[in-house]
Structure 1
Amino acid sequence: MSQSIQIIITLKQVLKAKGIKYIDVAKHLCMSESSIKRQFTQGDISLSRLEKICDLAGMDIVDLLELVQLKSMQLEQLSIQQERKLVSDTKLMLVAVSVLNNLTFEEIYAIYNFEQPELIKLLLQLEKISLIQLRPDNKIKTLVSRTFKWQSNGPIQRYFENHIQDDFFNCQFNHAGELRIVINGMLSTGSNQTMHKKIKQLAQNFNDLAYKDQNIGFNRRYGSTLVIAIRPWELPEFNMYRRNKNNKVFR
């Protein structure tokens, strides 16, 4: 991928994260929305216009180029060994999750019971596995991509699944910010596949909103977990009344 295309892609991601639409860019540049869309699609934006768009997004071209460079270095996934390291150290796991949620050094220190030298030591361990970059004055720069994910059925995923089963569902889901919906029915294979696509899109919507909200102050954000699951399943109590064993295989 050429550097110019990377710049345009990164700029589009920044604008989306800040809720800036093509029509907003068009008004800022005194151009038509169709012209702006065409220039973004073709990757043909002059330097002067690029500067003005960056200004609209509250940044300059240097900031944009730095983002492009960081994205080229961003981590997509940890190794199994690295995940095991996090799982084996609760404090390290806590700090890792905190920085992935865009908490600053000062916020982590204010919220959790760490002494500053200990917190710095933990952050340096995360820097060693390329999860973050610890900058002067303890500024934290995460080095993971927006598509970063834990290993499928890996140590981190199993760790959270255990806590989801033991703690997350130990709740009536009747307080502010809580919602639980359980639906039962009979679906064809095609309808099941359609639900899979919709669930994956909902998960992506969650990630997009978390990314959009990352610059909102910590006191206005809340740790949130979304659990979505679907599978062919029948209550075991119902099976005992079947005349014959259910040998139907999902295809």
Structure 2
Amino acid sequence: MIDLAVGNIKQSSVSAADDQQRESLFTLLKQALKARGYTYARLAAEMNMSELSIKRLFKDKDCKMSRLFEICAIIGLSVDELIQMQQRFRQVPEFLPESVEAALAKDKHLFLILILLVSQLDITTVQTLMQIDKARLYQHLRALEKLGLIELKTGERFRFCVPLPIRWRMGGALSDLIKGVNRRYIVHCLDNERDPEYAFTTASRLMSKSSALQIQNNLRRIREEFDYLSSQDQLFFKAEELQFYKLVFGMGPFSVDVILADE
């Protein structure tokens, strides 16, 4: 991770991982500039620097934290948002403690609010989607805080106290809740299959394991693209321009026993 206390991002001795982190950070920053209509020339003018200096800064990926803060302030982006997005692209999902999963399993509203927060929705948007009043929402947020998942801050802000993204135990305490959520959502997609905003497809075919693996790898890449594009959109678009979407897919050997089994 990049230490914000360090005066300069580029240090004399950095590992390959540090180089990659700095590369991804500046890549995201350049995308943010483009999305907000900033050229190097315009940025240079607002920073009282030459265009050549700005180009060199982005080419060398070498700037003091004060410069990085200044650039982010000019384009209306916080450094925290930039770094959080960078971290989401490189972290491996981790499980929550089983005791925390058990607590979440007792209250589906609490679990859903956590899902929405993990999906990078702000507190105001979560309240709108959940259709609950502010007092009730903050009861749930306090519960998440007591579980050590978030820390509430002033101004309807919060920070996560656990690494993101989160991985759920499919055979754990949340198993039935997760199955129910996805089962109901698949039915919802089937019911709205003719709506152009929904996409649903199903197929059963004979194929080799190697071909099946190829398709499964493609599905994993779609999930990665889904995560990447959604994070980009939340960084570059206004909240009112975004719609909350869910992605569900499954593929594996077809078992008639599973299909015919009672609920």
Partner of residue 244 from structure 2, selected from 223, 231, 241 = 223
**What secondary structure, in the 3-state scheme, does the structure 1 residue paired with 2:247 have?**
coil
Task: Verify the 8 A CA contact 2:33 2:75 in the aligned structure 1.
Answer: no
How big is each residue's C-alpha offset from its partner over 1:34-93, in whole Å with a ceiling of 9 and x where there is no partner?
Answer: 9778634xxxx1327645654565346xx359947x969x99431222112112112312
Partner of 1:82: 100
Identify the residue that residue 8 of structure 1 maps to in structure 2. Answer: 22
Structure 1: runs of 5 or more not aligned = 237-251
Query: Which residue in 1 is equivalent to 2:195?
Result: 175
**What is the aligned partner in structure 2 of residue 106 from structure 1?**
124
Residues 144 and 71 of structure 1: is their aligned pair in 2 closer, same or farther, counting only changes over 3 Å?
Answer: farther
Aligned partners of 2:25 and 2:83 also within 8 Å? no
Write out aligned runs for 1:65-214 (5 A).
67=83, 76-143=94-161, 145-169=163-187, 171-172=190-191, 173-214=193-234
Q: For 2:53 and 2:127, locate their aligned partners in 1 and report how far apart those are by CA, in whole Å.
A: 48
Deviations 1:185-214 (A, max 9, x none): 332222222222211111111111222233
Which consecutive residues of structure 2, in runs of 5 or more, have no partner in the other structure?
4-8, 10-17, 45-50, 258-263
Counterpart in the other structure of 1:46: 63
SS at match of 2:95: coil
Measure the CA separation in 1 of the matches of 2:150 and 2:26. 23
- SS of 1:169's partner is helix
Equivalent position amino acid for 1:230 in 2: M
One-letter code aligned to 2:115: V
Amino-acid identity (%): 18
Tell me the amino acid that sits aligned with residue 123 of structure 2: F
Between 188-197 and 106-115, the greater mean CA deviation after superposition: 106-115
More divergent stretch after superposition (85-94 vs 97-106): 97-106
CA distance 1:25–1:31, shift in 2 (3 Å): farther
Partners of 2:123 and 2:228 in 1: how far apart? 24
How big is the shift at 1:222? 3.0
Distance change >3 Å, CA 64–CA 217, structure 1 → 2: closer
Q: Any conservation in 1 of the 2:105–2:174 contact (CA below 8 Å)?
A: yes
CA distance in 2, matches of 1:65, 1:231: 37
Contact 1:127 1:134 in 2 (8 A): yes
TM-score, normalized by length of structure 1? 0.67
Q: CA offsets, 1:83-138, max 9 Å, x none?
A: 12112112312322232233333334445454433322221121223322211133
- Which segment drifts farther, 126-135 or 109-118? 109-118
> What SS class does the counterpart of residue 84 from structure 1 fall into?
helix
Aligned equivalents of 2:136, 2:181: Cα separation in 1: 26
Structure exhibiting the larger radius of gyration computed from Cα positions: 1
> Aligned-pair RMSD on alpha carbons?
4.1
C-alpha displacement of 1:177: 1.0
Instruction: Tell me the number of residue pairs that the alignment of Structure 1 and Structure 2 aligns.
Output: 226
Instruction: Specify the SS of the correspondent of 2:199.
Output: coil
